[in-house]
Amino acid sequence: MTEAKASQKINPVVLAVLRGRLEQIADEMDATLFRSAFNPIIAEAHDASHGLYDAQTGDTLVQGKEGLPVFVGVMAFAVKYVIEKTATMPPDEGDVYIFNDPYEGGTHLSDFKLVRPVFREGKIFCWLASVGHWHDVGGNVPGNYNPVATESFAEGVHIPPVKLFRKGVLQNDIVDILKTNSRLPLSVYGDLNAQISALELGEKRLFDLLDECGDDTVKSVFAELRARAHLQMEAHIGQLTDGTVSASDWLDNDGIVDQPLVVAVDIHVRGKKMVLDFSRSAEAVAGPVNISRSTAIAACYVALKHLFPDVPANAGVLDPIDIVIPEGSLLSATAPRPVGGYTETILRIIDVIFSAIGKIAPKRALGNAYGTINALSLAGHREDGSRWVMFSFFGGGHGGHGSGDGLSHGNAPISMATIPPLEIFEAAYPIAFRQWAMRQDSGGAGRFRGGLGATYQIEILNEQAMGFFFGERGRHAPCGVGAGASGALNRFSWQTAKSSEAQSPEMTSKKVGIHLQKGGSVLLQTPGGGGFGDPLERPVEKVIEDFHMGYISVPQMQEAYGVVLNEQGALDGEATDVRRAALRQSRAEGDAV
């Protein structure tokens, strides 16, 4: 941890203006990549990120607002890794490093990092970094989410930190290696060039700012923003009650052994310091739900930024916090443990941190979000023999909170990503969406209802295809807060052909090698968010509105909220009073037992 020393020398107006200018540089890098990438997971879903990082330590200085926050957290480790690797052979001006090591740089093999030193007067002023989720990087499964991988070698190609550019000259042999190891070489080439363009623009914009304002002034702004983040986090922690709170949740399985895996945190608060202790979490497993230590720390960063959103987004967020993760844990995997499904595990980290903090800061409590990205790959060959690979993640409901209902059909709280429009998928691949709708009754009941999940049905239009699915929350639903109910469980099924019977995965939420014929389809019903507070405290008019909007059915309206309508569809006040009284009595008897 570093000592927070806020400076009094920087004019507040100058600080605000330069903070905005620096954030704009990262935002422009984001926008450049999104507009230039070939792959819809970057171009449409924004599964990428950019930031500025400290010259000596690699710590996060500034992040973009449109990319994935979890990337910004792990990219600090990626930059540190490059700094360590170049300690005996420092970079030259114009060098750019590329790699996808998930153990040192975090996340999984699909996420390629480009790291570029920015020189001023012959010395490194800071680092710029770009990360993007490439569409396919080899491995056993198109799209790379392999739910039965037992080594990372089955998940994709491994690239250590190597120079993509040497003194400004592109190394085409590196590009050839990358293209050769993908089922979609054109997509790789397009995404790579888009990331290169983003870094070039970032350097140009940063040079403009430094020439205008001076290197020392900008360095002072970096230091001040970190100090302020540190001090603000200390202030927030200081408002919490001293003591220890705990929370636990579970993953369905690891895709290999059908047993639940616990993710648990004990949060210790002492004055202005906090410890996040994950020692009670499961040990590393055979299947691909392991994550590296750097990824786990990044997930903690994202959770804390959700809970304390006013704190500037830089390394100072974690300065007053110690994170304990034992060696050999599910959360500190080392090579070659498979880590392809890292998203599922970091979502559970966020869930348990939210649940634990909610016990000592009720105003910040919220129900769990749907808790899985539901990675789906469909792949095949077109009539002309060319290969197609459709990979995407899908949305669900967010948890209810003290200020209102949860967001329906949102994306996972690890990101600012969006769910690609169905029109993009249908234009790019031989598939058709037969359903894309809100999932009734999926949001947990509560005074503030959990957001709804969604239903997606995708039909295959060419002669055959293969499907691969990697999800979670098939057995352990997103929890509510207080008396709030859990959201609905995740459900996935498929029909091999149009008239065949529906089938479901043996592992509930994971499946490889689904053979699909023309007219066959996959059906995904995603979880809703957990509810917040007692459902019987939800205003009757809001319950009736939910019913008329199709968010809840008659059975849920009566059984969860105790609201009864007459034959004309109007409120039956007397029956509602009786029903609610019976529900309260039943709950009281259950509590007594």
| CA 94 – CA 277 distance, rounded (Å) | 41
Pairing verdict, β 321-324 and 454-460 = unpaired
For the residues 336-344, what does the mean pLDDT come to?
Answer: 96
Look at residues 534, 552, 572 and tell me which one is the last residue of a structural domain. Answer: 534
Does position 2 have pLDDT exceeding 60, yes or no? no
Look at residues 168, 198, 230 and tell me which one is the last residue of a structural domain. Answer: 230
Do 59 and 199 share a domain, yes or no?
yes
Coil, strand, or helix at residue 357? helix
Do 512 and 549 share a domain, yes or no?
no
| CA 440 – CA 456 distance, rounded (Å) | 13
Coil, strand, or helix at residue 244? strand
Does position 25 have pLDDT exceeding 70, yes or no? yes
Do 406 and 459 share a domain, yes or no?
yes
Res 10: pLDDT: 83
Res 439: pLDDT: 98
Task: Give which of 369, 425, 379, 472 is closest to 140, Cα–Cα.
Answer: 379
Give CA separation, 444 vs 296, 398, 532, 553, 560, in Å: 27, 10, 8, 13, 9
Do 567 and 454 share a domain, yes or no?
no
Rg for the chain, CA atoms, rounded: 25
Q: What is the percentage of the chain residues whose pLDDT exceeds 70?
A: 98
Coil, strand, or helix at residue 246? strand
304 and 315 Cβ atoms separated by less than 8 Å: no
The neighbour count for residue 10, using CB atoms within 10 Å, is 17
Do 183 and 207 share a domain, yes or no?
yes
Orientation of helix 172-180 relative to helix 185-213, angle to 10°: 140
Do 192 and 158 share a domain, yes or no?
yes
Q: What is the percentage of the chain residues whose pLDDT exceeds 90?
A: 88
Domain that holds residue 508: 366-534
pLDDT in tens, 427-469: 999 999 999 999 999 999 999 999 999 999 999 999 999 999 9
Q: What are phi and psi of 305, to 5 degrees?
A: -70, -30
Do 179 and 67 share a domain, yes or no?
yes
Do 457 and 555 share a domain, yes or no?
no
Comparing 249 with 9, the larger pLDDT belongs to 249
| Full DSSP string of 250-318 | EES--SSS---EEEEEEEEEETTEEEEE-TTSPBP-SSTT---HHHHHHHHHHHHHHHSTTS-SSGGGG
Coil, strand, or helix at residue 132? strand
Does position 371 have pLDDT exceeding 80, yes or no? yes
415 and 47 Cβ atoms separated by less than 8 Å: yes
Which neighbouring-strand residues pair with 366? 401
Do 136 and 225 share a domain, yes or no?
yes
The neighbour count for residue 151, using CB atoms within 10 Å, is 12
Res 6: pLDDT: 47
46 and 32 Cβ atoms separated by less than 8 Å: no
Q: Please report which confidence band the pLDDT of residue 416 belongs to, taking 50, 70 and 90 as the band edges.
A: low
HEC profile of 36-52:
HCCCHHHHCCCCEEEEE
Q: Please report which confidence band the pLDDT of residue 63 belongs to, taking 50, 70 and 90 as the band edges.
A: confident
Res 71: pLDDT: 84
| CA 566 – CA 39 distance, rounded (Å) | 52
For the residues 187-199, what does the mean pLDDT come to?
Answer: 98
The neighbour count for residue 271, using CB atoms within 10 Å, is 11
| CA 420 – CA 154 distance, rounded (Å) | 27
Domain-located, residue 335: no
Look at residues 230, 263, 284 and tell me which one is the last residue of a structural domain. Answer: 230
Does position 1 have pLDDT exceeding 60, yes or no? no
Task: Give which of 68, 52, 59 is closest to 111, Cα–Cα.
Answer: 68
Pairing verdict, β 273-277 and 321-324 = parallel
Do 553 and 459 share a domain, yes or no?
no
Q: Please report which confidence band the pLDDT of residue 591 belongs to, taking 50, 70 and 90 as the band edges.
A: low
Domain-located, residue 78: yes
CA atoms within 13 A on the CB side of 509: 27
191 and 135 Cβ atoms separated by less than 8 Å: yes
Does position 27 have pLDDT exceeding 90, yes or no? yes
| CA 263 – CA 283 distance, rounded (Å) | 10
Mean pLDDT of the chain: 94
For the residues 223-236, what does the mean pLDDT come to?
Answer: 95
Do 29 and 139 share a domain, yes or no?
yes
pLDDT in tens, 473-492: 999 999 999 899 999 999 99
| CA 219 – CA 202 distance, rounded (Å) | 17
pLDDT in tens, 541-576: 999 999 999 999 999 999 999 999 998 889 999 999
Res 448: pLDDT: 98
Domain-located, residue 237: no
Do 567 and 460 share a domain, yes or no?
no
Does position 134 have pLDDT exceeding 80, yes or no? yes
Coil, strand, or helix at residue 405? coil
Give CA separation, 424 vs 44, 431, 575, in Å: 8, 11, 49
| Range 226-244 burial, b when 16+ CB lie within 10 A, else e | bbbbbbbbbebbeebeeee
Burial of 580 (0-12, 13-18, 19+ CB in 10 A): middle
Q: How many domains does the chain have?
A: 3
Domain-located, residue 188: yes
DSSP assignment letter at 401? B
Burial of 3 (0-12, 13-18, 19+ CB in 10 A): exposed
Q: Please report which confidence band the pLDDT of residue 496 belongs to, taking 50, 70 and 90 as the band edges.
A: very high
Domain-located, residue 275: no
